[in-house]
């Protein structure tokens, strides 16, 4: 049985990926400092899978805990989720973001080197693509960023390619997620950000449970189907399956590649709101306001590479995503 270290294991994507790994016969060793998640996620994972995560509560910035994990477990592969992820906050606190997201990753990569572990899956993002690229985004397109958060992803991708240049035994997949939403079918795990949500779906959910009065729609004058921003929403369980496939791939290969995880389809803000209203039976009050800094009108993924290299394709549609997000949030009011 392979031992997989999952950083950020109790977070939104880390918890769903841990479920997928456990259900497919892998041992999961998890680390999280619970900055943006709760420990009770572990019992939900256990309830769903009948298996448990070997969990270490700790910080990836603390080399001694990483070393302890590698000493106590024979780690075959690392899937690295732990990071700060709020774009707006990263503009206010750049140093915190570079420290956590870049130095934290360097700590893990150093520890992997010390223990001769060469298999790595990295949580990258569609945010690494330069906004002037044509759509759909292809993996070789020009990279850049518009926020410190985005730059942490671009920088780590560069670090990972440099490592591969220096060590041809290194094997890494940088998964560039588009917009992960939805939740596990059980309604036991999902996205429950601490504080005011930055992303669209958690905000819609807050309005649906009357935690907030209305959704601010950031601009209706974009060059899109209805003037509102278009994104490639992808179910978190599909994203988790993408990690499973990427992990199988790195275990038997060498190299460093970036791969998009998206559906290849765009959905506007108003389309997502309408779909959520339909499946939940809840009215989502909206207010049109100004554009959010740094937003662009439209982007979605080209998913050919994921299909050809990983044999991965998304399975869930927007209705599934809205329904599963709603079922999760209803159960966690």
Q: Between 101 and 140, how does the x/- string for binding to ligand NAD read (CB under 6 A)? A: ---x------------------x-x---------------
User: Nearest approach, Cβ of 281 to ligand NAD (angstroms)?
Assistant: 26
Asked if 204 contacts 276 with a C-beta cutoff of 8 angstroms, the reply is yes
Stretch binding ligand UDP (CB under 6 A), from 89-97, 104-112, 197-205, 321-329: 197-205
The two structure tokens encoding residue 246: 């990427």
User: Nearest approach, Cβ of 296 to ligand UDP (angstroms)?
Assistant: 8
295 binds ligand UDP (CB under 6 A): yes
Q: Between 150 and 189, how does the x/- string for binding to ligand UDP read (CB under 6 A)? A: -----------------------------x----------
Torsion sign (Cα): 280, 234, 298, 135: negative
Annotated catalytic residue within 149, 151, 164, 222: 149
Among 18, 100, 147, 224, binds ligand NAD (CB under 6 A): 100
Nearer CB in complex with ligand NAD: 234/273: 234
What letters, b where the CB count within 10 A reaches 16 and e where it falls short, cover 83-110?
bbbbbebbeebeeebbebbbebbebbbe
Q: Between 1 and 30, how does the x/- string for binding to ligand NAD read (CB under 6 A)? A: -------x-xxxxx----------------
Q: Which residues pair with 79 in a beta bridge?
A: 6, 121
55 binds ligand NAD (CB under 6 A): no
Among 18, 27, 37, 224, binds ligand NAD (CB under 6 A): 37
In sequence order, the 6+-apart residues with CB closer than 8 A to the CB of 226 are: 220, 268, 270, 271
Among 13, 79, 111, 217, binds ligand UDP (CB under 6 A): 217
Find the binding residues for ligand UDP in span 254-283 (CB under 6 A).
269
Nearer CB in complex with ligand NAD: 100/171: 100
Cα–Cα distance measured from residue 221 to residue 198, given in angstroms and rounded to the nearest whole number: 21
Asked if 287 contacts 216 with a C-beta cutoff of 8 angstroms, the reply is yes
DSSP H or E stretch at residue 234: strand 233-235
Asked if 53 contacts 42 with a C-beta cutoff of 8 angstroms, the reply is yes
Find the binding residues for ligand NAD in span 282-311 (CB under 6 A).
none
What is the per-residue DSSP string for 151-186?
HHHHHHHHHHHHHHHH-TT-EEEEEEE-EEE---TT
Mark whether 149 is an active-site residue. Answer: yes
- Rounded to the nearest angstrom, the gap between the alpha carbon of residue 54 and the centroid of all alpha carbons in its chain is 21
Among 11, 14, 30, 229, binds ligand UDP (CB under 6 A): 229
Is beta strand 77-80 parallel, antiparallel or unpaired with respect to 119-125? parallel
Find the binding residues for ligand NAD in span 174-233 (CB under 6 A).
177, 179-180, 199
Compute, in degrees rounded to 10, the torsion defined by CA atoms 191, 195, 199, 200.
Answer: 90
Is beta strand 255-261 parallel, antiparallel or unpaired with respect to 77-80? unpaired
Among 4, 21, 59, 65, binds ligand NAD (CB under 6 A): 59
Nearest alpha-carbon partner for 17 in 100, 121, 119, 98: 121
36 binds ligand NAD (CB under 6 A): yes
Helix (H, G, I), strand (E, B) or coil at 323: helix
Among 26, 84, 97, 203, binds ligand UDP (CB under 6 A): 203
- Catalytic site residues? 149
- Judged by the rule CB under 6 A, the positions of this chain that interact with ligand NAD are 8, 10-14, 31-37, 59-61, 81-83, 85, 100, 104, 123, 125, 177, 179-180, 199
């Amino acid at each position: 049985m392979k031992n997989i270290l999952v950083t950020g294991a109790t977070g939104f994507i880390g918890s769903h990926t841990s479920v997928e790994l456990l259900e497919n016969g892998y041992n999961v060793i998890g680390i999280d400092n619970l900055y943006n998640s709760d420990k009770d996620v572990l019992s939900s994972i256990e309830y769903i899978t009948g298996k448990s995560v070997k969990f270490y509560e700790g910080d990836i910035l603390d080399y001694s805990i990483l070393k302890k994990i590698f000493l106590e477990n024979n780690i075959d592969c690392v899937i690295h989720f732990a990071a700060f992820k709020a774009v707006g906050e990263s503009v206010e606190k750049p140093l915190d973001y570079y420290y956590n997201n870049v130095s934290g990753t360097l700590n893990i990569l150093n520890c992997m080197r010390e223990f001769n572990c060469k298999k790595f899956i990295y949580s990258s993002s569609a945010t690494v693509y330069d906004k002037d690229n044509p759509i759909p985004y292809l993996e070789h397109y020009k990279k850049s960023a518009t926020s410190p958060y985005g730059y942490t992803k671009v920088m780590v991708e560069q670090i990972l390619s440099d490592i591969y240049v220096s060590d041809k035994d290194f094997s890494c997949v940088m998964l560039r997620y588009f917009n992960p939403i939805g939740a596990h079918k059980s309604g036991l795990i999902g996205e429950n950000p601490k504080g005011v949500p930055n992303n669209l779906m958690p905000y819609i959910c807050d309005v649906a449970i009357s935690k907030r009065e209305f959704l601010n729609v950031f601009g209706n004058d974009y060059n899109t189907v209805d003037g509102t921003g278009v994104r490639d929403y992808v179910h978190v369980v599909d994203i988790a399956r993408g990690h499973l496939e990427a992990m199988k791939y790195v275990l038997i290969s060498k190299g460093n590649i970036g791969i998009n995880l998206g559906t290849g389809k765009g959905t506007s803000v108003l389309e997502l709101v309408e779909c959520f209203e339909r499946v939940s039976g809840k009215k989502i009050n909206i207010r049109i306001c100004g554009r959010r800094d740094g937003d662009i009108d439209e982007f979605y993924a080209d998913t050919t590479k994921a299909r050809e290299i990983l044999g991965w394709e998304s399975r869930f549609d927007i209705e599934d995503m809205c329904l599963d997000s709603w079922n999760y949030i209803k159960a966690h009011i």
